Amino acid sequence: MDLPIKFPSDVEVIVEEAARFRALSPESRLRSIRGLLAAGALMMQRSPRATFLRDLTLEQERRARLAVKEFIARHAG
């Protein structure tokens, strides 16, 4: 079906958003990242699955710390 409206591809949208982010000052980049993290935290708090999400986050952080420790143990001098 040939539509008269052209929608951008996912790749085009990502490229534009990345360019917009790169054009920000370092302070604005950090502010943007903090805003995203705050929005995610708020969504997790208000979710009916908040306990599950909190536990999942803690487990992922635990696994990340363990992976770093194992990596260091394998590759440290």
Same domain flag for 36 and 65: no
Same domain, 1 and 17: yes
Nearest of 42, 70, 44 to residue 57 by alpha carbon: 44
38 and 55 share a domain?
Answer: no
Q: Which value, to the nearest 10 degrees, does the dihedral of the CA atoms of residues 45, 67, 36, 58 take?
A: 10
Q: Where are the alpha helices (DSSP H) in 1-77?
A: 10-22, 26-46, 50-75
Which one is predicted more confidently, 25 or 6? 25
Decide if 44 contacts 53 (C-beta within 8 A).
Answer: yes
What pLDDT, in 10s, does the model give residues 23-65? 999 999 999 999 999 999 899 889 999 999 899 999 999 999 9
Radius of gyration of the chain (CA): 20
Instruction: For residue range 12-30, list pLDDT tens digits in order.
Output: 999 999 999 999 999 999 9
Q: What is the pLDDT of residue 1?
A: 67
- Parent domain of 1: 1-46
* In a shared domain, residues 42 and 65: no
Task: Give yes or no: residues 2 and 28 share one domain.
Answer: yes
Q: What pTM, to 2 d.p., does this model score?
A: 0.58
Number of domains in the chain: 2
